[in-house]
Amino acid sequence: MCEGIKIVTQPVSETKALAQKLEDLEVAQALEKDHLVNMNKNMDAKFSAMENMLKAFIIQSGASSSAHKHGKSAEHVRCFFCGGEDHFQGDCEECKRLIRSGHLKINPEGKL
């Protein structure tokens, strides 16, 4: 009999405990849900901040890269021979003309 009672009462208390646990879990889940909602809000704020930063970075890098490209064609292309800004020394017609005429000599490395 004692064993019978034990067997009967145990599941009941377990069920009660389980119900209590479930209740706790629901509360915890609700709290977690709130927490998650808050976290999502924070994440949204963080994400939009990051997105703005990223956009700014992309705009900045795009601007700097286009400025770099622009600078390359406008400033960095310069003939060291005649100073012309539309060609490199290797493409310099003046330089080639002088080499052909024998006024200039180029070593095997392509230098004057």
Binding site for Zn ion (CB under 5 A): 79, 81-82, 84, 92
Closest CA to 32 of 110, 86, 99, 24: 24
Cβ 56 vs Cβ 48: under 8 Å: no
- Cβ closer to Zn ion: 11 or 90? 90
Q: Helix-strand-coil percent breakdown of the chain, rounded to 5?
A: 75, 0, 25
Report in angstroms how near the CB of residue 92 gets to Zn ion at its nearest. Answer: 3
At its nearest, how many Å lie between Zn ion and the CB of residue 64? Answer: 29
Q: Between 27 and 82, whose beta carbon lies closer to Zn ion? A: 82
Residue 77 or 84: the one with the smaller Cβ distance to Zn ion is 84
